[in-house]
Structure 1
Amino acid sequence: MLPAPVSLVKRGGFRRSSNASRRRLTDDLLLRARITNLGLLLLSAVTAVSLLYNLSYVFATRHASITELNIHGSLGPWSIADTIQRDAGIQKLSHLIIVPGHAIWKGSDPTRVLDEEDWILEPYQRGGGRVGAFLQHIKGGVERALGDERALLVFSGGQTRTASVFTEADSYLRLAMEQGLLPLGFLRATTENYALDSYQNLLYSIARFHEYVGYYPEFISIVGYEMKRERFENVHRTALRWPADRFRYIGVDIAADHSDAAMQGELNNALIPYKKDLYGCHPPLSTKRRNRNPFARFHSYYTSAPELAGLMNYCPESGTSKIFDGPLPWDNL
């Protein structure tokens, strides 16, 4: 066989050489691609781990904040819990002093506090010294709070009148401050701004104590009308199953309280209806609540005092007086 022409040998060698170069180039490119992909994969992994760590730190911090609050009994979503920082001065309180509101002080001059024109009053509240009684209720609550370092004073009463932007509780606390009865920055006095009747004055003030302090009170004092003593001591306290030996009612007498009209009004409009409807959830008591809530206010206590949710939502059948039998925080007091 004759040898191939030199030109063909050179062309064939060139093709083999060219194919080998392309394979090496391809291998190099694939190797570099693998290295690049591996680098990207490692970088993504590091980024993911870092992100997860940061998220876990954020949620752990929030959880720790909520857990710290939960230790003291305040439950709620972190968006609420993150806004709460309780002062050390209220961490040892155990005595709840309640002053139920009856009207709204709209004045600005504390020297005119007895002027009925500076109050938003119902027609039956005019005359007879009732404004003086409101002031005595406020003073009585303040004196007892100042005399007991374990006490939290709660003025209770909602935004019940269309003629005012204030709640009853706000106006009472403002009056106490304007009168110089309480020092500025006094943290052991606060308001409960949603109660619409005497039953809610008691129940919601307990819830507000928990919201403000972080746990429930051990002892309750109420400063109010003497003629309402039986209503609070024997009806509302019983409905809440609050222990009798940890409850005190301080009645403030005025001449108008002893009038036949006042006593008959207490009996017909409150005491008898509440004995038939302990929780005030049927007419006529429920109708009064609606009429006293013109601005459609509602409370936060399902969140801040969740242990009371069952009691707050309890409503036995009309005409019955069955007492709530679910668990309550003060069962073992």
Structure 2
Amino acid sequence: MAPNHLVIVCGHAIWLGGRKNGWEEAEWLIEGYKQGETPTFIEHIKAGVQVLTNFHSGPTRKETPLSEARSYFNLAVANLFFGLLPSSITGDTLLSSGRILLEERALDSYYNILFSLTLFWHTHHTWPQHLTIVSHDFKRTRLVDGHCAAIGFPLDKISYIGINPPGIDSIGLGGQGEKGEVMKKGVQLTLGLWKEDPHGVGEELAGKRRARNCWGVHQRLFETEEERVRSGVEVRVLGDGSEALVEGGRRPWAG
């Protein structure tokens, strides 16, 4: 039976490797405002391993071509999948079987989901019937009610595993003083941007993707035109050569 459940673990940083297997923050490449959050990223990885997973997010830092997705996978392997899988199962086995997929091109949360859907189809030649997303709980509204709704994935077929950094609640983002207030304003601003531009094709959101694409990773939905035709997805090409969904176009994953 072909797989029908796609689990997406959202990447937020890059683990560079190290003797502490990710449990020391110095081993991570993170922005300053994410200090203290690396244990939360590990909890996201563990949650994904529990249901098996598609790690995703591309190479977003000029310091290394390593993608967030591959770094998360490397950390899971280094920690022997946290004892959640039989010891006989190896990382290579999971990759070769397609039970774990590494989506290494997405440059924002919208394309995290969209590229993961197309990667699942490319690998298994079918669209998932159920979607589970693992990320911060305070991003639930943007990822589910925003991105998944815009992409057209049935919302009643989506599960969400939300794990916040310590001291951050799901609604008010309070509990950490100035940091909490900064995060709250950032969440509200981002929600507003995506509400006005649900597919992220306008200059502000598309520009952010271009700025993150320091390694020139292609942003097409499919590798070839033949593959795009077989998929049945209606695609439009943007001015920078990246691709997006046609508004109101066919979404075969929608049923």
**TM-score, normalising length: structure 1:** 0.63
1:97 maps onto 2:7 in alignment: yes
Match of 1:281 in 2: 201
Shift in Å, 1:249: 1.4
Which of these residues, 78, 95, 115, is aligned with residue 178 of structure 1?
78
Q: Deviations over 1:247-267 (max 9, x none)?
A: 111100222533222122111
Counterpart residue type for residue 139 of structure 1: K
Match of 2:187 in 1: 266
Q: How far apart, CA to CA, are the structure 2 residues paired with 1:203 and 1:305?
A: 14
Q: Is the 8 A contact 2:59 2:67 kept in 1?
A: yes
Which of these residues, 45, 60, 64, is aligned with residue 138 of structure 1?
45
Counterpart residue type for residue 127 of structure 2: Y
Q: How far apart, CA to CA, are the structure 2 residues paired with 1:242 and 1:331?
A: 5
Q: Deviations over 1:213-260 (max 9, x none)?
A: 111111000000001000011110110111111111110022253322
Match of 1:292 in 2: 212
Q: Is the 8 A contact 2:65 2:215 kept in 1?
A: no
Higher helix share: 1
Which of these residues, 64, 74, 83, is aligned with residue 164 of structure 1?
64
Q: Secondary structure at the match of 2:248?
A: coil
Shift in Å, 1:281: 1.3
Match of 2:250 in 1: 327
Percentage of identical aligned residues: 32
Q: Is the 8 A contact 2:60 2:213 kept in 1?
A: yes
Q: CA RMSD in A?
A: 2.2
Q: How far apart, CA to CA, are the structure 2 residues paired with 1:275 and 1:218?
A: 26
Match of 1:57 in 2: none
Shift in Å, 1:313: 4.2
Q: Secondary structure at the match of 1:97?
A: strand
Q: How far apart, CA to CA, are the structure 1 residues paired with 2:198 and 2:238?
A: 10
Which of these residues, 79, 92, 116, is aligned with residue 25 of structure 2?
116
Q: How many residues align?
A: 225
Which of these residues, 220, 235, 238, is aligned with residue 149 of structure 2?
238
Q: Deviations over 1:121-180 (max 9, x none)?
A: 112212xx31111101100011022xxxxxxx2111011111112111110111111111
Q: Secondary structure at the match of 2:101?
A: strand
Q: How far apart, CA to CA, are the structure 1 residues paired with 2:128 and 2:235?
A: 17
**TM-score, normalising length: structure 2:** 0.81
- Structure 1 unaligned regions, length at least 5: 1-90, 146-152, 316-322
Shift in Å, 1:112: 4.6
Q: Deviations over 1:298-329 (max 9, x none)?
A: 156423454365346479xxxxxxx8211111
| Residues 1-333 of structure 1 aligned to structure 2 (within 5 Å) | 92-109=2-19, 111-126=20-35, 129-145=36-52, 153-181=53-81, 183-184=89-90, 185-186=93-94, 187=97, 188-257=99-168, 258=173, 259-268=180-189, 270-299=190-219, 301-302=221-222, 303=224, 304-306=227-229, 307=231, 309-311=233-235, 313=237, 324-332=247-255
Q: Secondary structure at the match of 1:284?
A: helix
Match of 2:176 in 1: none
Q: How far apart, CA to CA, are the structure 2 residues paired with 1:119 and 1:202?
A: 24
Shift in Å, 1:330: 2.3
Q: Secondary structure at the match of 2:252?
A: coil
Q: Is the 8 A contact 1:95 1:218 kept in 2?
A: yes
Match of 1:34 in 2: none
